[in-house]
Amino acid sequence: MAPSLAATPLPSTASHRLDPSSSSFVQLLRSLVRSRRVHLAHRALLLFRSLHASPSPPPPHFSLPAALSAASFLAALPEGRQLHALAAKLALALAHTVVANSLLHLYASYGLPDTAIALFRHIPAKSLVTWNTAIDALASNGDHLGALGLFREMQRDAGLAPDAYTVQSVLTACAGAGSLSLGVYAHALLLRELGGDGDGKAMSRDVLINNSLVDLYGKCGAVDLARQVFDRMPKRDITSWNLMILTLANHWCVRDSVDLFDWMTRVESVVPNTITFVAVLSACNHGGMVEEGIRYFERMVSEFGIRLRIEHYGCMVDILARAGFIEEALDVMSGMNCRPDAIIWRSLLDACCKQNAGSELSEAMAKMALDVPDDAVSGVHVLLSRVYASAQRWKDVGMVRRLMSEEGLKKEPGFSSIEMDGLVHQFVAGDTSHPRSKEIYMKLDEIDQRLASSGYKPDLSEARMVAGMDHAKGAALRLHSERLAISFGLLKATAGEPIRILKNLRVCKDCHTISKLISELYSVEIVRNRQVIFLWRPKAKIHNIYI
């Protein structure tokens, strides 16, 4: 809660010493905003209101941007909309570039990228800052493909050369979209920007930019490039170490991940934080290292004095549950200093499904998950329906699906995306919207024939929601989005080039199996990126990792 504003008097606009129309009050207003402190940002808004209620207010194009910045910092949308209305009344909302840019930033900060872009489209004179703000509005709010599209539009239509701020947002978007080639291009632009005239401002962002590069290459499956950037960083902060530890963990380099943590703490004497231990526990989880996970979990408190958070409990529960230690996972939950969230209960329910723990225990887990307020409850229903399907309780499967329909719940749609020729192509299950769908499905037929010749048998348990004949279940598996993305990748990829797949959901076991087989049959490297990376190398040992 912000401190009471009444406790600190504002400068009087009626003072005989200072005219509110002078630049002194505008400078004071800007100083309050730049402080980045909540109570001073509140005072900035009150000062702005006081100034513009005076007989001789300062020029609004000087004071409005500062007031809008204060509203952005406070996420004060009602006040921001009032300021927008004032700017429109004064014909400044679109005509004055600085005011327009401040409005874009306001709506982006409040998580309204569509509103920001709608405003952006109506700004007649767009500066580089305007484009940067719009691109960042999309990138920071998760519309990575939209941000990359706007970046291309800026270069193609506006003819503007990007600066380091542009590249920073583009790197974020490339990391989110899994766009490696465009990320490499952005990296090249960045090197040119930093290597030009030795601009000190650009160099001052070195740690932040390099952290973005580590994140980009890690999320795109280029772990060697991520490590190269990390090793060459002239200066690292704790975020740098956290990103590299998590990147290694997510690329099944679990031993390298925990070794880097040990090097960080014992050799570099860097003090880990809560996020560091989420990364280390994730490495133990991906590698199935139960004993190591328990040891790091205990060291958090005993050695580093870090207060356990729900993310740490979630990792520990998942480590134990995936290894089949469901009772031990429940013991960890009983000792939590906070209430388990739906994610933890779903993790246990998922383990019960995979360990065939029985419908009774699974039903109890599902009930606990549904009792926790959470918007994403559809995943619980899906898991429970799978438990019933495994037990051949088709009536209960139908009941769960009717319940989902009645409550308007929908399973999160899975998609797989692949980057080719600088463009990101997305597929959903059974997708026929791609311009080359006919060729993709013909390639898929060829893949199926080669898989069958190699002795592959589909894992029909992954289609257990289909209660019909086995051929119907096999057809459902065949249409999974990942297979379509791999098929498209085989059509387009050049010899020796890896196929990089980005998924938004966990891969099913059958797709995991066929991906390894396709890697061997077609002598192609396949990199899959969700939060866990699966990497297959042709003519090399297949690494057994948890999925």
Q: Angle at the Cα of 283 (from 281 to 288), degrees rounded to 5?
A: 95
End-to-end CA distance of the chain: 43
Q: 415-420 and 526-529 as β-strands: parallel, antiparallel, unpaired?
A: unpaired
Which pLDDT band, with edges at 50, 70 and 90, does 17 fall under? Answer: very low
What does the pLDDT read at residue 345? 78
Q: DSSP 3-state assignment of 506?
A: coil
What does the pLDDT read at residue 24? 65
The segment with the largest mean pLDDT, out of 178-182, 344-348, 399-403, 507-511, is 178-182
Q: For the residues 376-386, what does the mean pLDDT come to? A: 64
Q: Angle at the Cα of 148 (from 171 to 183), degrees rounded to 5?
A: 35
- Measured distance CA(451)–CA(474) in Å, rounded: 13
Output 98 or 546, whichever has higher pLDDT: 98
Which pLDDT band, with edges at 50, 70 and 90, does 342 fall under? Answer: confident
Residue 199 has pLDDT above 50, yes or no: no
Q: Which amino acid is at 92?
A: L
Provide, for the chain, the percentages of residues in helix, strand and coil under a 3-state DSSP scheme, each rounded to the nearest 5.
65, 5, 30
What does the pLDDT read at residue 543? 33
- Write out pLDDT tens, residues 469-479: 444 455 666 77
Residue 198 has pLDDT above 60, yes or no: no
Residue 281 has pLDDT above 90, yes or no: yes
- Write out pLDDT tens, residues 45-78: 777 777 776 666 666 667 777 777 777 777 778 8
Output 448 or 363, whichever has higher pLDDT: 448
What does the pLDDT read at residue 414? 73
What are phi and psi for residue 528, nearest 5 degrees? -115, 130
What does the pLDDT read at residue 374? 58
Which pLDDT band, with edges at 50, 70 and 90, does 533 fall under? Answer: very low
Give the pair of three-digit tokens for residue 184.
Answer: 């490499």
Q: For the residues 152-176, what does the mean pLDDT come to? A: 86
Output 140 or 464, whichever has higher pLDDT: 140
- Measured distance CA(50)–CA(428) in Å, rounded: 55
Q: Are 180 and 174 in contact (CB under 8 A)?
A: yes
What are phi and psi for residue 233, nearest 5 degrees? -65, 125
Residue 461 has pLDDT above 70, yes or no: no
Angle, helices 164-177/144-153, rounded to nearest 10 degrees: 140
Output 431 or 230, whichever has higher pLDDT: 230
Q: Where is 501: in which H helix or E strand?
A: strand 499-503
What does the pLDDT read at residue 189? 79
Q: For the residues 176-190, what does the mean pLDDT come to? A: 85
What does the pLDDT read at residue 545? 31
- Measured distance CA(181)–CA(420) in Å, rounded: 8
Percent of the chain residues topping a pLDDT of 90: 20
Residue 456 has pLDDT above 60, yes or no: yes
Q: 415-420 and 499-503 as β-strands: parallel, antiparallel, unpaired?
A: antiparallel
- Measured distance CA(441)–CA(491) in Å, rounded: 11
E strands, 368-490, are 415-420, 423-428
- Write out pLDDT tens, residues 398-453: 776 777 666 665 566 678 888 877 778 888 888 888 888 899 999 989 988 888 88
What does the pLDDT read at residue 215? 92
Residue 7 has pLDDT above 50, yes or no: no
What does the pLDDT read at residue 4? 35
The segment with the largest mean pLDDT, out of 22-31, 186-195, 228-237, is 228-237
Residue 125 has pLDDT above 90, yes or no: no
Residue 293 has pLDDT above 80, yes or no: yes
What does the pLDDT read at residue 136? 92
Angle, helices 342-354/310-322, rounded to nearest 10 degrees: 0
- Measured distance CA(97)–CA(272) in Å, rounded: 43
What does the pLDDT read at residue 373? 62
What does the pLDDT read at residue 35? 65
What does the pLDDT read at residue 257? 94
Residue 14 has pLDDT above 50, yes or no: no
Percent of the chain residues topping a pLDDT of 70: 71
Q: For the residues 532-536, what does the mean pLDDT come to? A: 37
Which pLDDT band, with edges at 50, 70 and 90, does 205 fall under? Answer: low
Residue 2 has pLDDT above 60, yes or no: no
What does the pLDDT read at residue 262? 94
Which pLDDT band, with edges at 50, 70 and 90, does 162 fall under? Answer: confident
Residue 488 has pLDDT above 70, yes or no: yes
Output 344 or 289, whichever has higher pLDDT: 289
Closest CA to 171 of 194, 198, 190, 155: 190
Give the pair of three-digit tokens for residue 513.
Answer: 């199996």
Output 508 or 310, whichever has higher pLDDT: 310
Residue 532 has pLDDT above 60, yes or no: no
Contacts of 199 (CB under 8 A, 6+ apart): 193
Q: 526-529 and 499-503 as β-strands: parallel, antiparallel, unpaired?
A: parallel
Contacts of 224 (CB under 8 A, 6+ apart): none
